[in-house]
Structure 1
Amino acid sequence: MTTPESQAVAERELCGLVNGLARRIGDHVRERAVALGLTSAQATALRELTGPMTMTELAERMGCEPSNATFVADKLEKLGLLERRPHATDRRAKQLVLTREGTALRERLLDLLVRDSPLAGLTQQEQDVLHGLLHRAVTAATSPSPPADSL
């Protein structure tokens, strides 16, 4: 029989594993970023810039505040890796677009990130299952939960 205590222990262990994986992935990104002369945040921004996007979109993808994404984008712009262009449909917004140099560096970064990735020990099927489970957990966490007294 499952008790609240055993559920709490299982959840604590699972959270520890997720945190451990996140740390390993963070270390992996940092090591690859340093090899390219970038900070971890700059590498994350390059990885997430899959096409033209606003600062708000980049911040969301990076999991940070827009002011932090702006700081990173400013540095990447000074390095000649991205530029700000007028948004096609919103006069108030700018879009971040990789330059030719930024695109080339992003490709090198992506190549380095897949080498010896913390997830490389999993088959593609296992990665797909993990992706699905994590996606469900994240989306369930963002759904409103019922009040505690209704349980």
Structure 2
Amino acid sequence: MTAMTPARTEADLSFLLDHTGHVLRTRMAAALAEIGLTARMHCVLVHALEEERTQIQLAEIGDMDKTTMVVTVDALEKAGLAERRPSSQDRRARIIAVTEEGARVAQQSQRIVDRVHHEALASLPEEDRTALLRALNHLVEGHLATPAESPRPTRRARQREK
């Protein structure tokens, strides 16, 4: 007797979200690479420009571990886009300060990020774009806002930018 494959009763939401997320990340990486940035470098520049933030705070926003953050900031410093400085509020803390060139590049990279997102959404009819964004926002703010505890760690999703 052969076992029967179980019948799927729902759309494979995991595949749909994973595949579209993966392809979007590859397109974003390719677009940002044209100006010598990674998505992580873009994230650090933009969030460091918003307000004075420490390396630890920026790592949390970008969902980066300590080692990845150090490598990212090292790359930004080497490119002359950011530098580590003492905080104006707490001299013991070090902040990531964006240079003038870094601020210019952040403007450029934000235009690239917006363009990649626009191109992805533009492939849908207008009413589907609105519905998709509304539905994803409902999931992110509701049922799928918090990861489940799991005995086996899974890669954490990047946190939503405020």
Q: TM-score, length-normalised on structure 1?
A: 0.74
Deviation of 1:125 (Å) = 5.7
> Counterpart of 1:109 in structure 2: which amino acid?
S
Bigger share in helix? 1
Q: Which structure has more RCO (C-alpha within 8 Å, separation ≥ 6)?
A: 2
Q: CA deviation at 1:136?
A: 2.3
Runs ≥4 residues deviating over 6 A: none
* RMSD (Å) for aligned C-alpha atoms: 2.7
TM-fit CA distance, 1:9:
5.9
Alignment match, 2:26 = 27
* 3-state SS in 1 of match to 2:142: helix
Q: How does 1:106-117 map to 2 (within 5 A)?
A: 106-117=106-117
- Stretches of structure 1 that go unaligned for 5 or more consecutive residues are 146-151
Gaps of 5+ in 2: 1-5, 151-162
Deviations 1:55-113 (A, max 9, x none): 11221222220221111101101211012222233333211121111111111111111
Q: 1:16 to 1:125 in 2, by over 3 A?
A: closer
Q: How many residues are matched?
A: 138
Matched, 1:129 2:135: yes
User: 1:95 corresponds to which residue?
Assistant: 95
1:2-151 equivalent positions in 2, closer than 5 A: 10=10, 13-51=12-50, 52-117=52-117, 118-120=120-122, 121=124, 123-124=129-130, 126-141=132-147
State the alpha-carbon separation in 2 of the partners of residues 96 and 9 from structure 1. Answer: 49
Measured in 2, the distance between the counterparts of 1:93 and 1:138 equals: 34
Amino acid at match of 2:61: R
Q: What is the Cα deviation at residue 48 of structure 1?
A: 4.2
> Taking structure 1 as reference, are residues 131 and 42 closer, same or farther at Cα in structure 2, changes over 3 Å only?
same
